[in-house]
Amino acid sequence: QMQVVESGGGLVKPGGSLRLSCKASGFTFSDYYMAWIRQAPGKGLEWVAYIGSSGADISYSDSVKGRFTISRDNADNSLYLQMNSLRAEDTALYYCARTETTSVGAWLDPWGQGTLVTVSS
Amino acid sequence: DIQMTQSPSSLSASVGDRLTITCRASQRINNYVNWYQQKPGKAPQLLIFAASSLRSGVPSRFSGSGSGTDFTLTISSLQPEDFASYFCQQSYSLPPTFGQGTKIEIK
């Protein structure tokens, strides 16, 4: 079945860096947009970034633009999020999700279980 | 950014109840709304896409409706496994934005 599994989270000091990974299986990874979404403890969902199927179409939320970089390796069915200059407010559970894009909108399905990023000194 | 205002933020209900959750967009977004369910400690799961299309495998007691700015998610007969949080999301324009969520608790 379709599945995405995140890894790479952890504890990092403010100003530090971390690279998240997401491994996909059960679908043709290179056919789909992919996204990162985060959820701060006890809070709602915030879209972070997406990347097109070939990697050419990329967009970021204003809150991470210039600090985070999304990328993918279609040969390895993997999605990445390089996070630099981390701040306390980046502390969250980070989800990877396949993005279905159609003429009637775009939706996230499936989602991974998430990887926790904690930014604290 | 388009704001998605979801209500109520929480509610208590009983098994068998009919529930409606609403989501209002800050501007017209056609039918570009999706609904997700999130159980404690679990990842969100897609329930409804394009306002009213039921994802394959999702029970038919879930339904969605609306267009323009006002959208609803209805559970026709609440089951024990439906006690969870529900989020709406718009995909009309970037950035995609979510409602703040509705938590359904057992009465």
Cα end-to-end span (Å), chain B: 36
Burial B70-90 (b: 16+ CB within 10 A, else e): ebbbebeebeeebbbbbbbbb
Structure tokens given for A100: 């279905």
Residue A26 has pLDDT above 90, yes or no: yes
Structure tokens given for B48: 């409804």
pLDDT tens, A81-94? 999 999 999 999 99
Residue from A1, A108, A115, A116 whose CB has the most chain B CBs within 10 Å, to mutate: A108
CA angle A12-A17-A23, nearest 5°? 95
Q: Which residue of B has its CA nearest to A114?
A: B43
| pLDDT value of position A82 | 98
In chain B, which residues have their Cβ closer than 8 Å to the Cβ of A116? none
The percent of residues in chain A predicted with pLDDT above 70, rounded, is: 100
Strands (E) in A13-91, as ranges, are: 18-25, 33-39, 45-51, 58-60, 68-73, 78-83
Q: Chain A contact for B64, CB < 8 A? A: no
CA distance A9 to chain B (A): 16
* Main-chain phi, psi angles of B82, to 5 degrees: -90, -5
Return d(Cα A119, Cα B58) in angstroms, integer: 37
Residue from A27, A37, A109, A116 whose CB has the most chain B CBs within 10 Å, to mutate: A109
Residue A42 has pLDDT above 90, yes or no: no
pLDDT tens, A93-113? 999 999 999 988 999 999 999
Which of A44, A47, A113 comes nearest B100 by C-beta? A44
Per-residue pLDDT of chain B (107 residues; tens, 9 = 90+): 999 999 999 999 999 999 999 999 999 999 999 999 999 989 999 999 999 999 999 999 999 999 999 999 999 999 999 999 999 999 999 999 999 999 999 88
| pLDDT value of position B63 | 98
Which of B34, B91, B94 comes nearest A59 by C-beta? B94
Nearest to A34 by CA among A82, A84, A77: A77
What is the residue-averaged pLDDT of chain A?
97
